[in-house]
Chain A
Amino acid sequence: MPSQPPLPPLLAPYVSTLPDASLTLVSSILGATSNWLVLRFLHAALSSQSASTFGADDLQNGIKKKVVLVSFMRSYEFWKTEAKRLGLDLTRLAEKHQFAFIDGMSELFYAQSPAPTSSPGMGSSPRTTLPMRGPPGAVPGRAPQPTAPVGTMGNPAAKQEPGIAKKLHFSGRGLASLDAMEKDIALVIEQQKTQMEEGDELVLIIDQPDLLLATTGPSMGIGATEMSEWITGLQQLAHATIVTLATDTPLIHNASGLGGQLATPIETEHAAFAIGLAHRARSVMQLRTLETGAAKDVSGVLRISRGGGLGTGEDNLEEREALYFIQRDGGVTVFGRGES
């Protein structure tokens, strides 16, 4: 099979040029996940430094980019393996301070000594949410847990595993817990920024923060407003921000009240969060499956639309819809309807 360019040409302008203070929302559904697109964002930002042999660095204009990836749904092991298929060595990039991974998954709800007052509902959350998309192997980050010093809050240098800059912990409730996590992420970003030269850009990718909303919810004092304020706070630290969210039908449409039944809090809050972010975003990249059913040579549909963000309407982002196909080797082709 002829090897695909890691970055499909049709996609390149959308993932490599991100204006300052812009928010890109990537929405996915169960049948059309977003991790391949996140990897393309990673590649667009990091490839020119790590793998200039690809010759794809003409889009970079000499601007060095750094990436901080906050992942709530997938482990570092997953991202490392997948990025390797694109020719990115995340561990090496992390050592060169071009990439930082923040693990929001493996220890998010681990009770730790600084937070003895965990509400009773929290204990059950990890068991119900974590195994859903866990990697096939052993969950990394759990093994060293007994020996890991829990007070990593003020000491970001204390890393147990190479590549993982920080593990997020959720403690307390409401705004205070979000603030604590924001502080953790900000620490990592600041650390990255110390290595930055003038004109460098830091791209922040937050993968599926809706997990946080789903596992806490209004009963813990966290709703759509609090979550999007949290995103705003992180956005202020970075050059450009990319957020991925799930937009499956029950999470979006049940709350609109058309069905006639009363929406549950998670449906209402998730819909408000996702739609609110789309209103703020510069561009919304929507992934979905083919309406006509599964196909052998099409994995799904990617629709790129302009969001409603104020102050970002000047640039002419071209809206388009394309099909994509993820091959067995992880390569992705993106093509228009009727093309191949």
Chain B
Amino acid sequence: MAPVNLSHRRTHNLLLISKLLSLRDTASPLTLVLDSLEQPATPLLKEYIRRAKLSKVHVTLIAFETLKQPEGVDAFVTTRRKSPADITKEVSAVYQHVANSNPSRRRLILIDSINPLLNSKRDDPGFHLPSFLSSFLAPTSPTAKVDTSLVVTYHQDVPEPPQQSPYASSPLSVLTYLATSIITLHSFSHILAQKAARDRSLAPPVFGLEEEQEGVLLGRLDKLSGTGAAEGIVIELEHRRKSGRGVLEWYLLPPASRYSPQHLKEIVTLLDDNILYNPPMERDPGAENEEPTSTFELGLTDKQRRDREGVVLPYFDAQSGDGPGEGGRILYDMGEEDDFDEEEDEI
């Protein structure tokens, strides 16, 4: 890739991810996070919460599978035995007193897993996914202007039950259609293993459920062979700008242990900038010793070179035009070290 292009991406796309994760300027009202067992969204959600705390954003977690209120979450809404309408009501209720005291605050709503809601057997004819999601984003009262960002996690590996109506689109396609940003998560060590295989034109390896090995749910192991230092998660971002132009970029989020919770500078880097993913090219590998190694001395000393340059080759002599028949004679000056062979001329 051209270096100009990379530096352009470095400035623009890093700014973009920083804006998205820190919820600045409501760059993305609805972010869809697609995760899998191989790379759960937990570290990313924690990063969202960490940044929200730094910039004093009110965080609400709608818990479909989390049992305890995680650290940093201001409001924790459980969803057990609640209808979608109840959830919406409760989510707006927990923010009511905050909105009254400080109307200009921003708000982050996290949904830890949307799958249980989509797979529910509950007969709820009134449930409509787009309106459920937009009910969080729409202002609760016309006076209070709240910038709300919604981050929805969807587990890609949880199978969906067949649709009620065969013509209805699947919830995942509805979600990807609605989302302003789609983040797909990958494990860094798996990305490295797959890249290594591709570089050798091998089929990239698969992990976990995709292995289709009986009894294996998770393939992730800390010590995946050959990827000792590969910690962190890879973020594949597709962001739709307001103009309609899409931005595609791959980032790397380092593990939370690498930086302090109060760290303000951007920690996300481009995947292409990573030294493990994109090792720097060695400059002209082996330019110095291009010669093949052998037991013979193939080089020339200075004297040998001068002597070689002094040799007049026969065709030069032929061009000097000493007359017909003269050119093309084999000129031979006997050197000191030559051993004159009398019989040779007679042949």
Binding site for B on A (CB under 8 A): 20-21, 23, 27-29, 32, 174-175, 218, 221-226, 228-229, 232-233, 235-236, 247-249, 252-253, 255-258, 262-263, 265, 267-269, 271-272, 274-276, 278-280, 284, 286-289, 291, 301, 303, 305-311, 313, 318-321
Picked from A29, A276, A306, the residue with its CB within 8 Å of the CB of B215 is A29
Give Cα A21 to B66, complex, Å: 10
Beta-carbon contact of A271 and B158 below 8 Å: yes
Give Cα A230 to B120, complex, Å: 13
Picked from A221, A303, A310, the residue with its CB within 8 Å of the CB of B121 is A221
Report B-chain residues with C-beta under 8 Å of the C-beta of A224: 116, 119, 158
Report A-chain residues with C-beta under 8 Å of the C-beta of B222: 318-320
> Among residues 115 to 133 in chain B, which have CB atoms less than 8 Å away from a CB atom of chain A?
115-117, 119-122
Report A-chain residues with C-beta under 8 Å of the C-beta of B303: none
Instruction: Identify the closest chain B residue to A220 (Cβ).
Output: B121
Beta-carbon contact of A272 and B119 below 8 Å: yes
Report A-chain residues with C-beta under 8 Å of the C-beta of B112: 310
Give Cα A305 to B161, complex, Å: 27
Interface size of B as a range? 35 or more
Residue B306 lies at the interface, judged by CB distance under 8 Å to chain A: no
Residue B269 lies at the interface, judged by CB distance under 8 Å to chain A: no
Beta-carbon contact of A223 and B120 below 8 Å: yes
Instruction: Identify the closest chain B residue to A287 (Cβ).
Output: B215
Beta-carbon contact of B161 and A272 below 8 Å: yes
Report A-chain residues with C-beta under 8 Å of the C-beta of B159: 255-257, 263, 267-268, 271-272, 275
Minimum C-beta distance from B52 to chain A (A): 15
Give Cα A255 to B162, complex, Å: 10
Report A-chain residues with C-beta under 8 Å of the C-beta of B68: 20-21, 311
Give Cα A269 to B218, complex, Å: 19
Report B-chain residues with C-beta under 8 Å of the C-beta of A252: 209, 217
Picked from A29, A262, A267, A279, the residue with its CB within 8 Å of the CB of B65 is A279
Instruction: Identify the closest chain A residue to B119 (Cβ).
Output: A225
Beta-carbon contact of B218 and A305 below 8 Å: yes
Report A-chain residues with C-beta under 8 Å of the C-beta of B45: 310
Residue B212 lies at the interface, judged by CB distance under 8 Å to chain A: yes
Report A-chain residues with C-beta under 8 Å of the C-beta of B66: 280, 309-311
Instruction: Identify the closest chain B residue to A259 (Cβ).
Output: B212
A20, A253, A271, A289: residue with the most chain B Cβ atoms closer than 10 Å: A253
Beta-carbon contact of B215 and A305 below 8 Å: no
Beta-carbon contact of A306 and B220 below 8 Å: yes
Minimum C-beta distance from B344 to chain A (A): 72
A257, A301, A305, A321: residue with the most chain B Cβ atoms closer than 10 Å: A305
Beta-carbon contact of B119 and A288 below 8 Å: no
Residue B84 lies at the interface, judged by CB distance under 8 Å to chain A: no
Residue B34 lies at the interface, judged by CB distance under 8 Å to chain A: no
B46, B119, B157: residue with the most chain A Cβ atoms closer than 10 Å: B119
Report B-chain residues with C-beta under 8 Å of the C-beta of A306: 218, 220
Residue B40 lies at the interface, judged by CB distance under 8 Å to chain A: yes
Beta-carbon contact of A321 and B221 below 8 Å: yes
Minimum C-beta distance from B258 to chain A (A): 14
Q: A280-B65, A308-B41 are in contact. Are A247 and B119 (CB under 8 A)?
A: no
Give Cα A328 to B222, complex, Å: 33
Residue B37 lies at the interface, judged by CB distance under 8 Å to chain A: yes
Apart from A229-B116, A247-B215, A279-B158: 19 A-B pairs, beta carbons within 8 A: A27-B215, A29-B214, A223-B120, A225-B121, A268-B161, A274-B217, A275-B155, A275-B159, A278-B217, A278-B218, A284-B217, A287-B215, A301-B215, A307-B40, A308-B42, A310-B66, A311-B70, A319-B220, A319-B222
Beta-carbon contact of A275 and B215 below 8 Å: no
Residue B43 lies at the interface, judged by CB distance under 8 Å to chain A: yes
Q: List 11 A-B contacts (CB under 8 A).
A: A222-B121, A229-B116, A268-B161, A275-B37, A275-B157, A278-B217, A279-B40, A279-B155, A291-B213, A303-B221, A309-B66
Beta-carbon contact of A310 and B70 below 8 Å: yes
Residue B113 lies at the interface, judged by CB distance under 8 Å to chain A: yes
Report B-chain residues with C-beta under 8 Å of the C-beta of A236: 67
Residue B81 lies at the interface, judged by CB distance under 8 Å to chain A: yes
Instruction: Encode B24-43 as 1/0 by CB contact (under 8 A) with A.
Output: 00000000000101001111
Beta-carbon contact of A232 and B120 below 8 Å: no
Picked from A221, A225, A263, A308, the residue with its CB within 8 Å of the CB of B116 is A225
> Among residues 65 to 95 in chain B, which have CB atoms less than 8 Å away from a CB atom of chain A?
65-71, 80-81
Residue B54 lies at the interface, judged by CB distance under 8 Å to chain A: no
Report B-chain residues with C-beta under 8 Å of the C-beta of A257: 159
Minimum C-beta distance from B330 to chain A (A): 74
Instruction: Give the 5 A-B CB pairs with smallest separation, nearest first.
Output: A288-B215, A308-B40, A255-B159, A311-B70, A305-B218
Report A-chain residues with C-beta under 8 Å of the C-beta of B70: 310-311
Beta-carbon contact of B35 and A286 below 8 Å: no
Beta-carbon contact of B216 and A303 below 8 Å: yes
